[in-house]
């Protein structure tokens, strides 16, 4: 008698988590539309996650799959513990407890991604799913620019348009694309550019799609007119330095210098404005340039965030509690109220105190460690590891100076992909050493 074979149902059940994971990764490009759910605004990714968690959890119970352990989980656990400690002393313990549950969702993302992306073939599928989502976002940017040129009031265009924020008013488009704000779109596109360049170098995409993806994503980045563009410049400078440092050291140094300078200039631009708004608590006089500047809305927000942190330095005000409440007038003479810290480090410090900030920095340090060594000659997984690591650190740390992106779904998924690529690369190196 012949041996029994798996039924089609068994095969589908084993493949379904990977299919759902790729669908989830693709959906990261779409943070619109939002749907009210249990007091929060849910996005398509959240519903795909529920299906993925149910299927994968069922297979875990049936022992058809397993959780692949990674040392990074300990750092995630420390970060969660710091949040947990902030709940009893929270200004609203009930609200903080509910927020803590949503953090479990985010923290489970890298665990699921790392466990399901078990080999190089699945890593390629996951990366391609991300690139397809990025391609759609880039296409939306190009289409939105065409529509704006033809009819700025077009109803089709409106969901992609962003408010000017602290930018001067004018007849120009600022796009949020498929996201809820332009800064979030730029943050996602920064990681996408890292994946595009790494995938192109690793040969995961052919030349023509690579060029189209790269150009389209760069156009999409520029349309956001976000402070995060400094992160884009920084990453591109770092990437060119990695590519050219052996063959063209002068060009490599120049690219890195330009990237760092651009990042510094964008960071400075976040702090001051030449528009002397009436809500400015003070003015800054630059004598050598005979220039008077006002603190930007961000600087005013950061100042209050620091004060709120110093009032609750150990465990913070509680996870999920608004870090600030600042009123300021934007260049369009609209009075704005911000409850977001516009800085990942201050956001965590105000909510979870020095304990939470230390745990976050330990996690970021571990990401940096997993990105090393910075070499692009280790094969596909090694190249993806370097690209993902640099892109993730740029999006989380540099762009985190001007935005509270610590809870962004795409960053936690990218973290899981980094862990998977690191493991696959290490395993490939060990296998090659034994030959």
- The residue with tokens 């692949």 is 68
The pLDDT, as a whole number, for residue 46 is 95
Rounded to a whole number, what is the largest CA-CA distance in the chain?
93
CA within 13 Å, CB half, 409: 22
* pTM for this prediction: 0.94
How far apart CA 205 and CA 220 sit, in angstroms, is: 20
- What are the structural domain ranges in the chain? 8-434
Q: Comparing C-alpha atoms, which of 220, 202, 191 is closest to residue 28? A: 191
Q: How far is CA 305 from the centre of its chain?
A: 22
The pLDDT, as a whole number, for residue 377 is 66
Q: Name 175's Cβ contacts closer than 8 Å, sequence gap at least 6.
A: 141, 144, 145, 160, 161, 162, 182, 185, 220, 223, 224
How far apart CA 30 and CA 52 sit, in angstroms, is: 18
Q: Give the chain's radius of gyration (CA, Å).
A: 23
How far apart CA 385 and CA 303 sit, in angstroms, is: 37
Beta bridge partners of 40: 37
| pLDDT tens readout for residues 321-336 | 999 999 999 888 889 9
Q: Comparing C-alpha atoms, which of 404, 360, 396 is closest to residue 191? A: 396
Beta bridge partners of 295: 272
| pLDDT tens readout for residues 3-15 | 444 445 457 767 8
| pLDDT tens readout for residues 53-78 | 999 999 999 998 999 999 999 999 99
How confident is the model over 84-112, as a mean pLDDT? Answer: 95
How confident is the model over 384-398, as a mean pLDDT? Answer: 95
Q: Comparing C-alpha atoms, which of 202, 194, 201 is closest to residue 221? A: 194
* Sign of the dihedral defined by the CA atoms of residues 109, 110, 115, 121, in that order: positive
How far apart CA 302 and CA 294 sit, in angstroms, is: 14
Nearest-5° Cα angle at 137, 189 to 24 = 85
Per-residue three-class SS string for 228-262 = CHHHHHHHHHHHHHHHHCCCCHHHHHHHHHHHHHH
- The residue with tokens 């140094």 is 253
How far apart CA 288 and CA 304 sit, in angstroms, is: 29
Beta-carbon count within 10 A of 60 CB: 14
Q: Comparing C-alpha atoms, which of 360, 421, 409 is closest to residue 76? A: 360
Answer for the pair 243, 252: CB distance below 8 angstroms, yes or no.
Answer: yes
| pLDDT tens readout for residues 203-213 | 889 999 999 99
Q: What percentage of the chain has pLDDT greater than the value 70? A: 95
Q: CA-CA distances (angstroms) from residue 196 to 202, 214, 379?
A: 10, 7, 16
Answer for the pair 103, 83: CB distance below 8 angstroms, yes or no.
Answer: yes
Q: Comparing C-alpha atoms, which of 395, 46, 328 is closest to residue 166? A: 328
Q: Comparing C-alpha atoms, which of 222, 227, 264, 191 is closest to residue 399? A: 227
- The residue with tokens 């959890």 is 57
The pLDDT, as a whole number, for residue 182 is 97
Q: For residue 155, what is the DSSP state?
A: T
Answer for the pair 193, 391: CB distance below 8 angstroms, yes or no.
Answer: yes
> Which runs of consecutive H residues, i.e. helices, occur in 245-330?
249-269, 297-311
> Which runs of consecutive H residues, i.e. helices, occur in 41-92?
44-61, 72-86
| pLDDT tens readout for residues 121-163 | 999 999 999 999 999 999 999 999 999 999 999 999 999 999 9
């Amino acid at each position: 008698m012949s041996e029994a074979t798996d039924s089609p149902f068994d095969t589908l059940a084993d493949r379904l988590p990977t299919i759902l994971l790729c669908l989830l990764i693709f959906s990261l490009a779409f943070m619109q539309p939002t749907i009210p759910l249990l007091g929060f605004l849910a996005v398509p990714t959240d519903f795909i996650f529920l299906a993925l968690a149910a299927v994968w959890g069922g297979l875990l119970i049936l022992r058809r799959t397993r959780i692949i352990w990674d040392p990074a989980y300990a750092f995630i656990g420390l970060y969660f513990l710091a949040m947990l400690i902030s709940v009893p002393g929270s200004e609203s313990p009930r609200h903080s407890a509910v927020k803590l549950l949503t953090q479990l969702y985010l923290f489970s993302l890298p665990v699921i991604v790392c466990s399901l992306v078990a080999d190089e073939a699945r890593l390629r599928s996951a990366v391609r799913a991300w690139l397809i989502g990025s391609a759609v976002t880039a296409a939306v940017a190009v289409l939105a620019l065409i529509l704006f040129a033809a009819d700025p009031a077009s109803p089709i265009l409106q969901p992609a348009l962003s408010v000017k924020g602290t930018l001067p008013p004018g007849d120009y488009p600022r796009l949020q694309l498929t996201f809820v704000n332009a800064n979030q779109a730029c943050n996602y596109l920064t990681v996408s550019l890292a994946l595009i360049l790494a995938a192109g170098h690793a040969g995961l995409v052919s030349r023509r799609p690579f060029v189209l993806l790269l150009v389209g994503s760069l156009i999409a980045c520029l349309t956001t007119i976000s402070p995060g563009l400094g992160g884009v410049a920084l990453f591109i400078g770092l990437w060119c330095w990695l590519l050219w440092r052996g063959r063209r050291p002068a060009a490599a140094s120049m690219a890195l210098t330009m990237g760092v300078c651009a990042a510094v200039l964008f960071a400075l631009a976040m702090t001051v404005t030449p528009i002397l708004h009436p809500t400015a608590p003070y003015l800054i006089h630059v004598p050598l340039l005979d220039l008077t500047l006002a603190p930007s809305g961000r600087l005013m927000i950061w100042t209050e965030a620091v004060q709120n942190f110093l009032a609750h330095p150990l465990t913070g005000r509680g996870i999920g509690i608004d870090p600030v409440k600042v009123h300021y007038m934007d260049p369009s003479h609209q009075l704005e109220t911000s409850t977001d810290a516009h800085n990942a480090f201050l956001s965590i410090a105000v909510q979870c105190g020095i304990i939470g900030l230390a745990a976050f920095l330990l996690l970021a340090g571990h990401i940096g460690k997993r990105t090393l060594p910075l070499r692009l000659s280790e094969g596909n997984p090694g190249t993806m590891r370097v690209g993902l690591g640099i892109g993730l650190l740029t999006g989380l740390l540099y762009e985190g100076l001007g935005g509270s992106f610590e809870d962004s779904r795409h960053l936690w998924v990218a973290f899981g992909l980094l862990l998977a690529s690191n493991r696959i690369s290490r395993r490939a190196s060990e296998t090659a050493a034994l030959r």
